[in-house]
Amino acid sequence: MSSAILFSGQGSQYVGMCADLIEHYDVVRELVEVANNIVGYDLRSIMLNGPAETLTETRYTQPALFVHEAALLRVSGVREAATAVAGHSLGEYTALYAAGVLTFEDALRLVALRGKLMFEAGLTVPGTMAAVVGLDDDAVEAVCAQLNGKDGNVLVAANFNSPGQVVISGSADYVRSSMPIFKDRGAKIVKELQVSGAFHSPLLQVAAEPLAEALSSTEFHDAELDVYTNVTATAERRGYELRTQAAAQLTSPVRWTQTMRAMHTAGITSFLEVGPGKVLQGLVKRTIDGATIDGIDTAADVARIVAQRG
């Protein structure tokens, strides 16, 4: 039975994340200390103590999530049984680390820069995102195609999370004024998300260019596992191609529904979410029938998974 590890993205963070891992494992304490030195501020304190308003700032959220997920990988040993990895948006960087494409240090530097650039882009180019629930992917894309570009405004499908759940992204006021149109076309719910910018849209081009420069100067090894990327929803192992897709990811849709289906078609039937919360487990359940799904977030989860392996 083939299995995949999935890594959570932004929105799953919580104050106190990683606390029990730090308490139980020396290697995690050391890892977090290394992370503090790399990012140049007290990331550990933000993860453990918040406040929530600080942790939810993109520039801090992304490094916090990456360190939490990398710590879980270090102490759980789950990578040994996996045949493939994928990560939702930010989680793709943890997937690249898990697959041996990036070192911990290089991945964290890129993640910290990515979070900082995305945070700053949100300040200079006002944008937002909204969840559209209960409308077919094609229908959401058709509305976006109809509205995108009017009077210089941006409106695109940004995250294909599961069948009937798509997130749109674009110019802040334009997204808000367009939300009723999706309801008119049959969406059950259209809800603005609490985000600081128009992620995975052309409005992030201001952040994509300096990120691409950093990616180009970072060594990307060929992957030891299949990495299913957000941009293409297909398996990739070539380091140079994974670098190219990481650069494109910031302004391209996260094709998560397509990724889960591609994994299932490739014979993957067991999925393990590594990171805070259970968001990805829910998305798998809504996308693939009959899959085995589990997750690890805390030291207790790690102990349970290790015990199951015997």
- Cite the active site residues: 89, 200
Asked whether the beta carbons of 32 and 125 are under 8 A apart, the reply is: no
How long a stretch of residues is the chain?
A: 310
Q: What angle do CA 266, 267, 271 make, to 5 degrees?
A: 105
The C-alpha R_g of the chain, in whole angstroms, comes to 19
